[in-house]
Amino acid sequence: MEPKPWRDRVREEEELLARLNHLASEAAARRAEALLEGVEELGSRAEVARALGRSWQAVDQAIKRHERRRLPSADAPTTE
């Protein structure tokens, strides 16, 4: 059996990396939503961090990244 040409292997791996990046992005969004639910329940990002055994900076940064992604950028085209 002939091995796949290197170009085909590179293309397949790039496709796999793109899918994995997409899955990781979706997981990060779901995690941030869960963290926000924790903030609603416990009252602060610091309390969520304590409950999870994480630093408050990690919780804060995850939520902020998620919020930045949800907001449209200033130079994005509008539907108007």
Spans of all domains in the chain: 6-70
Task: Please give the average per-residue pLDDT across 65-70, as a whole number.
Answer: 92
Question: Kind and range of the H or E element at 42?
Answer: helix 6-42
Split at pLDDT 50, 70, 90, the class of 80 is: low
Nearest to 60 by CA among 73, 72, 49, 52: 49
Assess whether pLDDT exceeds 80 at residue 77.
no
d(CA 64, CA 67): 5
| Whole-structure pTM value | 0.77
* 26, HSE (Cβ side, Cα atoms, 13 Å): 6
Split at pLDDT 50, 70, 90, the class of 75 is: low
Nearest to 63 by CA among 46, 43, 41, 45: 45
